[in-house]
Every structure is written in C-alpha cells, then in structure tokens.
Amino acid sequence: MNTRNIALGMLAATALLTESNTVAADDFADAIYFGGPIVTMIRDDDRVEALAVRDGIVIASGEKATVLSLRGPTTKMLDLQGRALMPGFIDAHSHVVQQALKFSVVNLDPYPIGDVKTIADIQRKLRARIEETKPEPGKWVFGWGYDDTALEEMRHPTRKDLDAVSTEHPILLMHISSHLMSANSKALELAGISAETPDPEGGKIQRTRGGNEPNGVLEEKAMGFMLGALPSPTPERSLEMLEYGLRKYAEAGITTAQEGGAVPGMLKLLERGDEAGVLPIDVVSYPVFATLDDATFARVAAGWSTPARYRMGGIKLVLDGSIQGYTAYLSKPYHVQPGAGTEVEADSCGSDVGMKMVLGGDAMDAVYEAHEAPVLEDDYRGYPNMTLEEVVKWVRAADEAGIPFLAHTNGDAATDTLIEAVKQVRKDRPRPELRSVIIHAQTMREDQLNFAANQGLVPSFFPIHVQFWGDRHRDIFLGPERAARIDPARSALDRGMKITLHHDAPVAGIDILNVVSAAVNRRTTSGKLLGPKEAITPYEAFRAVTKDAAWQYFEEHRKGTLEAGKLADMVILSEDPLAIDPMKIDQIEVLQTIKEGKTIYPANPG
Ligand SMILES: [Zn+2]
C-alpha cells in the first residue's frame, strides 16, 4: 500500500487545489462513484454524494462537486444509478476452508438452509453435477450436507438410491453432521466393503433388512474404510478449490474472511494460496489449540497484528459444542432431554474423510480430538470440550504472548469456564487491548455480559440461530425463557460493548444479509418473533459486520467505513441497506464487490 496516498486525504487534496488550481496527473482519482446512496457507516444515516478511489484507497468522499475536482482524463466515472455503495462485509467468524470444500462438492443442505427436501432432490442434484462437469468414468462424485431427519422420506439415501444416479462413478455423500455417510455400490466396491466386512470398533456398516449386504450407509468409524479408496486432491486442485470458495465469499459481498479453526493442513493450504497470489480477498486464520505446536504459536505471536492478504490473527479455543447437537455445555438442563435414539454430535467440525476430500492425507494427523460419548441422564446439560486447566493454560499463553484468542462457547456453563480461566489468569487486570472474542456467546447470561464488558471481551453472536433453529430452541433445546434471550445483542450493546455478528459457514451458509436480518428482525422460520427485546437496529447490525468487525481484527484504521485513507473495500447493493424496510434486508442483492479498488465480483462487470 502506498503510504503517500493514505496521507493524501480529502483535505490535503482540497488544499492542493486551492493553492495551485491544478491537479498533478498522479493526483487524479482512478475512479469516482456517484449517483446513489453512499453509506459510509461512520455513524447512522451518514451518506455522501460521491467517493473517489486511487491505488486501492479511498482518497475523498463528500459532496459531489468537491470530489469531482479529482476527476482527470483517465478517471472512470461510475454512476451507481440509485444503487447503494457501502463498506465490504467483514466475516467475523467462519471456516473458509471447510466452506470452500462444501462449495466444491454437490451441496445437499436441507431446506431452508439449502434446497433439498427429498431423496429425488438429491438424485437430481447429483445427476446435474455429472451432466455439467462430465467427469471421466471412474471419477468420484461427492455430496455434502444431506439430513435424513429433514428429508420427506425420513431416512438416509441408500446405495440403491445412488446407484440409480450412476454405477459408473463412485458416489459418496457426507451427512450434515459429518458423522455418517452414504455410498453407492461402486464406492463400496473400491473401499472393499462387502457383506463379509465386519463392523469396526466404534462404527457400523448398515445392512439390508433380513440380509447382510451393506445398504450404503456408514456410521462413525466405519467411514474410515473409505479413506484408503479416496483420491488425494493434487495441490493444484486444492488451490483451485480454495480460490473458488473465496470467490463465492466475494460474491456474498465479503472482502475479509476468517478461517476460524485452522488445523495444520489448512494453514499450509492458505499459505500456499497466498504465495500463489490466488486469494481474492483478505483471510485471517486462527490455529485451533488442539493441534497448535510451539513453532506455529511463535509465528502467530510474531505476525498476528500485521495486516496482510493472509495472516494468522490469534488462536482458537473450543470450549463446547453446539446447542442443536445437544453438545453445548449449559448450566441448567436442556428443555427436552435427548431421547435414547438422539444422535449427539461431538462437534460440527469436519470429519477425517471430509478433510481428506479437501486437503489430502496430510491433514489426517491434525483433526480435532475425539470426545468420550456422553452419558445421557435425566438432567442432561451437555458437556465441556476442554477442562478448566486447559483453558487456563491457553488463556495464559495468549495473554503472556500478547495475542488475542477466539473462544468458542455456545452454552453458558462453557462461558462460566472461560470466565473462571480469565479470572485466574488476569486476576484484577483486564486486558481489553487484546480484543479477545467469545465466539457464538449464544446463551450468555446478564452476569456474564457484565464480566465480559468489564474485561473487554468481545461477544461475536450467531443470530441465524434465531431464524433457522429458533423454533426448535424454544420448543426443544432451551425452552421459551432461554430461547428468548439467545444471542443477546441488545443486552450487550446496552452495556456499551462492541459486538460482531457471524454465520459460522459452513454451518449456515455465507449470506451476511441473512445474518443482519436475523439480528434485526428476530423472526423464526415459522414466522414467530423470538425475543424481540434482543433485536438491534439495522445500523447496529450492519456496523457489526463492517466497522466493528474491522475493529475485532485490529484493522479499524484501514477497513470498515468509507472515508479518506481507508482501503476501497466496498460492496454495491441493490437497495440502501439502512433505508429499506428491515423485513426486506435479506432480499437485498449484492451486485458488485470491490477489493482495494478492483472489482472482484462479478468477474466481468458490465
Ligand atoms: Zn465456528
């Protein structure tokens, strides 16, 4: 970045004009945007008439007449034609590598996250992929995200269903939980799974009723049989997959993304992507504690605060699981206890097989720690993923090195553990300058918000839960009282805290406008209001994915608002996001995404 241009803000440019009445050729703008609301996000309802960009930096914004004085013979005049320009979205928490994998295979997410309602939908989508990509005979076809409990048939697709799509290509589908998969006959054959194969310890090969033939569904450790048969993607293929995934983020208006749970194979891939120059947007990664070695920790400590196209920004702790998987660690029992047949998921992070699909064999030693299966009792509260001692160890390591941590806590008992660890490490000395983040923070209580406010811990909420899972949180997992307080954004803001909002892709898609809409409207899928007291305003919600998300990354001096001196990371939207009826926020379209002055979506802007 050219520091001279940063210094040359609008004031400097105007002063230059008054003094000499001419503008030197290299002081002209590369582009000037005008003709639509330019939402700066500096404060609510702050709009300017025009904005000038040079060398990837905003050099002026304000009244059209003033900004137009930077127009030179080569300046592109870009008329917004009534559409809105605002800062690019900053992803406060997701998992870009896993999401990239999900983009590279057939997406089988259930409605309303995706569009799959029946086994016929799955077959149609697989056939379309084969039709479209015309793989050579014998090449694998992968799908990800089907949910047997959300299919009309209420069962898994079997080898028969998948053989109906192809017997020539091996087909392998990953369940939405990453704990089961379904394969066709060709895939079973290549993996050497037959009627004679015994079930492995800790896993099951489902069999046909009344017979011993595998029906295609593999549970838990039985998925390991597939590992030997799967092709390892070439380094080139992995890079292509990463770039494609990041371009999809750009399509959603995101100009800075997160890898919020990186294992060594992912870190390697991101570094290779950066070296190869194929990252279209900025990526900040957080190596996960379980696989973090001393050398990587030292590299995080050395470079976490230096802005770059790619950097490691801190470390990631995972204190519990997910509420809808009955693995979040709550201080009071779940509203409806999990039934005998309930599948309790260890965590939502990708399985070994999934990792191999994207990263090849080198990721195999680096997956998350396995959990002991929980004992289900009448007063089941979920369970922790880390002991207090472990949390203390990592909070201390981060604090002593002066680096931020991201701590995943969904249940309030997990948040209690984090608070206890912070108390033990920090005593009475808060470390707000580290801007450490509580990821999800979904069931934070009032007393916990007070503690976080005093300590400068930053809650990053997951409001899509209000929408996608809200009805089930009220009726099944949390009950009406706790569900109404889920993702307590209003309570946090009322304490003067900064918050951010996220979608945790690949869990709930990558649409930031859905995230904002859920935080503002708090409507569940069935249309009911859930905890309207925790609703926030459109400006507050958009601020949590622009200005304050930039602050979370220590980049508020260069990102998050549209003003002179900041990066021209911007998005053009079909509507003014702060003027539209809030119920229609999720219908706004991302028309163009600009990273440091360059249009990265669409690929060929008209
Ligand atoms: Zn996550």
Report residue 578 as tokens: 């702060």
For residue 476, report the distance from its CA to the centre of ligand 1, in Å: 22
Q: How sure is the predictor about 370, in pLDDT bands with cuts at 50, 70 and 90? A: very low
Going from the Cα of 375 to the center of ligand 1, the distance in angstroms, rounded, reads 25
Q: What is the pLDDT of residues 51-78, one digit of tens each?
A: 999 999 999 999 999 999 999 999 999 9
* Centre of ligand 1 from the C-alpha of residue 340, in Å: 28
d(CA 94, ligand 1 centre) in Å: 5
| Residue 203 Cα to ligand 1 middle (Å) | 26
pLDDT at residue 351 greater than cutoff 90:
no
Distance 160 CA to ligand 1 centre (A): 35
pLDDT band at 324 (very low <50, low <70, confident <90, very high): confident
State how far Cα 9 lies from the chain centre.
33
Say how many Å lie between the CA of residue 546 and the centre of ligand 1. Answer: 19
pLDDT at 202: 81
Distance 524 CA to ligand 1 centre (A): 21
Average pLDDT (131-158) is: 91
Cα of 87 vs its chain's centroid, Å: 18
The DSSP secondary-structure symbol of 216 reads E
Cα of 398 from ligand 1 centre, angstroms: 19
Cis peptide before 506 (omega within 30 of 0): yes
CA–centroid distance, 314 to ligand 1, in Å, is 14
pLDDT of res. 508: 79
Mean local confidence (pLDDT), 372-378: 58
Name the E strands within 40-157: 47-54, 57-62, 76-79, 84-87, 89-90, 106-107, 141-146
pTM recorded for the entire structure: 0.86
- The whole-number average pLDDT for the span 420-445 is 97
Q: Is 150 helix (H, G, I), strand (E, B) or coil?
A: helix
Question: Residue 47 C-alpha to ligand 1 middle, in angstroms?
Answer: 34
Run of H or E including 66: helix 64-67
Distance from residue 472's CA to the centre of ligand 1 (Å): 20
Identify whether the C-beta of residue 477 lies closer than 8 Å to the C-beta of residue 335.
Answer: yes
State in Å: Cα 557 to ligand 1 middle: 26
> What is the chain's length?
606
CA 93 – ligand 1 centroid, Å: 6
* CA of residue 95 to ligand 1 center, whole Å: 6
Which stretches does DSSP call E strand in 462-515?
500-501
Give residue 371's pLDDT: 43
Q: Residue 287 corresponds to which amino acid?
A: P
Compute, in angstroms, the gap from residue 406 CA to the centroid of ligand 1. 10
Taking the centre of ligand 1 as the mean of its atom positions, its distance from the CA of residue 219, in whole angstroms, is 23
Task: Measure 261 CA to ligand 1 centroid, in angstroms.
Answer: 7
DSSP H or E stretch at residue 10? helix 10-20
Q: What is the pLDDT of residue 18?
A: 36
Confidence of residue 363 (pLDDT cuts 50, 70, 90): very low
Distance (angstroms) between ligand 1 centre and the Cα of 515 equals: 15
Distance of CA 470 from the midpoint of ligand 1 (Å): 18
Q: Phi and psi dihedrals of 53, rounded to 5?
A: -125, 135
> With bands split at pLDDT 50, 70 and 90, how would you rate the model's confidence at 4?
very low
Going from the Cα of 512 to the center of ligand 1, the distance in angstroms, rounded, reads 15
Q: How many angstroms separate the alpha carbon of residue 135 from the centre of ligand 1?
A: 33
pLDDT at residue 360 above 60? Answer: no
Q: How far is the CA of 173 from the centre of ligand 1 (A)?
A: 22
In angstroms, what is the span from residue 6 Cα to ligand 1's centroid?
Answer: 34
**pLDDT tens for residues 228-278?**
888 888 889 899 999 999 999 999 999 999 999 999 999 999 999 999 999
- Please tell me the distance between residue 244's alpha carbon and the centre of ligand 1 in angstroms: 20
Is 499 in contact with 523 (CB distance < 8 Å)? no
Between the CA of 503 and the centroid of ligand 1 the distance, in Å, is 8
Instruction: Give the per-residue pLDDT at 346.
Output: 43
Amino acid at 255: T
Separation of CA 171 and ligand 1 centre (Å): 28
- What pLDDT score was predicted for residue 357? 55
Asked if residue 374 has pLDDT above 90, the reply is no
Q: How far is the CA of 316 from the centre of ligand 1 (A)?
A: 10
pLDDT at 327: 84
Q: Cα(22)–Cα(16) distance, rounded to whole angstroms? A: 8
* 260 CA from centroid of ligand 1 (Å): 6
Structure token pair of residue 507: 């869990």
Which H or E run includes 516? helix 512-521
Is residue 61 classed as helix, strand or coil in its secondary structure?
strand
CA of 505 to the centre of ligand 1 (A): 7
CA-atom Rg of the chain in angstroms: 25
Measured in Å, residue 366 CA sits from the centre of ligand 1 at: 17
Collapsed DSSP state (helix, strand, coil) of residue 470: helix
Amino acid, res. 151: L
Q: H/E element holding 354?
A: helix 352-359
Looking at the predicted structure, is the pLDDT value of residue 365 above 80?
no
The angle formed by the CA atoms of residues 242, 247 and 248, to the nearest 5 degrees, is 100
Ligand 1 center to 26 CA (angstroms): 44
Distance (Å) from CA 262 to ligand 1 centroid: 10
